[in-house]
Amino acid sequence: MSLPANTPIKPKAIIGVSLKMYFGYQRSVDYCRDVAAIAFAHPAVQAGDIELFVLPTLPVLPEAARILGPAGAAAGAQDIFWEDEGAFTGEVGGKTVAELGGRYAEVGHAERRRIFGEDDTVIGLKTAAAYRNGLTPILCVGELQQGSVEEAVTRCSAEIDAALHRAQSLGPAGRTIVAYEPQWAIGAPEPATPDYISAVITGLDAHLRSLPGQADSRVIYGGSAGPGLITKLAPAVAGLFLGRFAHDPKALKTILDETAARMTTAEVTV
């Protein structure tokens, strides 16, 4: 089942994968073919209950979109520039991402905040660029050091507000997927504890969906997420944003199966 780009999406769960810069072109294409085969055969993906997307490196995007689209999945970019076109050497705007078949744009990842110095202003501009080009932003937020649940909710809510307020000052907003990725858990051997993740995301989800125009937006968890985690999380956690632990297609299939099973045994907030 391939949904038209303008079809409203109200899935019961969201599973996304970033390939970062781990795979070359051919390996990325092969991975997308494997994911498409899994998606074609997966009842929850075909029913639209699980929203599935892959973010490859940019040169792979057109082929990834072509492969994944007919399987009911989608592709997107790991970054976009805040302007759509102009004299910005080396950058790629949301207009081009959409033209290449992308439906998502990741913004605000901890690596870009740390390595490239992206701040709340830049992240807000990139979020606005996603909205105006019909892309769903994957807005990454997360505290630097582990503390209390209340501190994490306060910190990450402020990051959400900074990005969305800036974006909305420039034009209409749209649906947002917030990826809660505590920076201290990214690349760690284990994710944050299920109780901690559940408590923080319950607070963030309530905050996000109370904002103007964000009733259909959701919060998912990233940060060393892998098989076995989704079944331990509270219903407010809409899904997972996966990295290296889903680079094996078999692991991704396991996570999709776990997500589908969770939807039949728990009342997932939609």
Kindly list the catalytic residues. 109, 181
Question: Coil, strand or helix: which one is 197?
Answer: helix
**Residues 6 or more apart whose Cβ sits within 8 Å of residue 255:** 15, 226, 227, 230, 240, 242, 246
E strands, the chain, where?
A: 13-18, 50-55, 74-77, 104-107, 136-141, 177-180, 218-221, 239-242
Separation between Cα atoms, residue 3 and residue 55, nearest integer Å: 18
Separation between Cα atoms, residue 126 and residue 206, nearest integer Å: 23
Separation between Cα atoms, residue 263 and residue 14, nearest integer Å: 12
Map tokens 């809660």 to a residue: 180
* Chain centroid offset of residue 48 CA: 17
Instruction: Tell me the two tokens of residue 154.
Output: 């306060």
